Amino acid sequence: MTTADQRPMRADARRNYQRLLDEAKVAFLEHGADAPLEDIARRAEVGIGTLYRHFPTRLALQAAVYQEQVDDLCAKAYELLDDERSGNALAAWMRSFAEYATSRRGLMQTLKEVIDTRSDLFARCHDEIRGAAGAVLAEAQQAGTVRPEVTVEDLLRLTHGLSVATQSAPETTERLLSYLLDGLRPQP
């Protein structure tokens, strides 16, 4: 590793990076994941060359935004594990996941679709959220509210599907979530 790699980022570079990320979140929320990069650079008050040096592709910028969303969702899972008891963390997390998706107008699902599933970033995000989902699943299975054969992948897929299904109709979340939970419960 060269000396350059070890030197901390300059203050102006750090500041611009953060402004670009912040403005990208707003722009993606307002205009979708294809919001013009020149517009994001203008809002951040930097040149288009600066945007491209911090984020060499649109995907890189989308990925940074997605990473923050994954971080948020994972933090929520562990928070709910601390607060809830008797297998309720899972339901609360799925609800929270759907609400998060609705508040960000489907951006999270869109970003998930455009990020290459073979990329390191995707693998890291997936590991991270699998850890969090695994924790709430284990607790629910231990409490007997979810049948033992449900895997972490199953839970993630169903949660993702729920968030897409209810993204434009959040008032349906409770009912659809209850059907899902009934389906995951150990069957007589």
Partner DNA sequence: GAACTAACCGGAGGGTGCCTCCGTTACGAT
Partner DNA sequence: ATCGTAACGGAGGCACCCTCCGGTTAGTTC
Please give the residue ranges that form the binding site for DNA (CB under 7 A).
4, 7-13, 16-17, 34, 36-39, 45-50, 52-54, 56-58
Q: Please, what is the minimum distance in Å from the beta carbon of residue 10 to DNA?
A: 4
**Residues contacting residue 156 through CB under 8 Å, at least 6 positions apart:** 129, 130, 133
182 binds, among a second copy, DNA, none (CB under 5 to 8 A by kind): a second copy
- Which residue, 47 or 183, is less far from a second copy as judged by CB? 183
- Which residue, 51 or 150, is less far from DNA as judged by CB? 51
**Residues contacting residue 103 through CB under 8 Å, at least 6 positions apart:** none
57 binds, among DNA, a second copy, none (CB under 5 to 8 A by kind): DNA
- Which residue, 25 or 76, is less far from DNA as judged by CB? 25
Q: Please, what is the minimum distance in Å from the beta carbon of residue 69 to DNA?
A: 21
Q: Please, what is the minimum distance in Å from the beta carbon of residue 176 to a second copy?
A: 6
Task: Return the SS3 of 169.
Answer: coil
The contact set with a second copy (CB under 8 A) reads 34, 106, 109-110, 113, 117, 150, 153-154, 157-158, 160-162, 164-166, 168-169, 172, 175-176, 179-184, 187-188
CA–CA distance, 173 with 98 (Å, rounded to integer): 7
- Which residue, 8 or 148, is less far from DNA as judged by CB? 8
- Which residue, 34 or 83, is less far from DNA as judged by CB? 34
Indicate the DSSP class of residue 46: -
